[in-house]
Amino acid sequence: MQTRRARGRPRQDAEHRRHGAAPDEAHHGAAMLRLALELKKPGAPPFDALVSDLSRTLRLHEPSFRRFLAQQGELFTALATGRG
């Protein structure tokens, strides 16, 4: 017996994949970790410059990434401690 696939409106994430853009929210955690690692390097650029550069490099929507960082403030502070 075959199961029929429901036809309807495609899910939003499927729509993003179709157009070649991944939803930003799926990458915010990885970007936050990468940002923390960059901040720990000696002579690291200022925080704002790193956020802008990382957003551009990973093709993230910068305002939503900054909002995510603000919401995860305590976790991010723990990751970024030990800077220089």
Position 15 scores a pLDDT of: 45
Query: Nearest-CA neighbor of 44 among 35, 57, 31, 52?
Result: 35
d(CA 80, CA 26): 21
pLDDT in tens, 51-61: 999 999 999 99
CA distance to 24, 42, 49, 77, per residue, from 46 (Å): 23, 12, 5, 15
User: Measured in Å, how far apart are the chain's first and last C-alpha atoms?
Assistant: 64
pLDDT of 74? 79
Summarize the confidence of residues 56-77 as an average pLDDT.
88
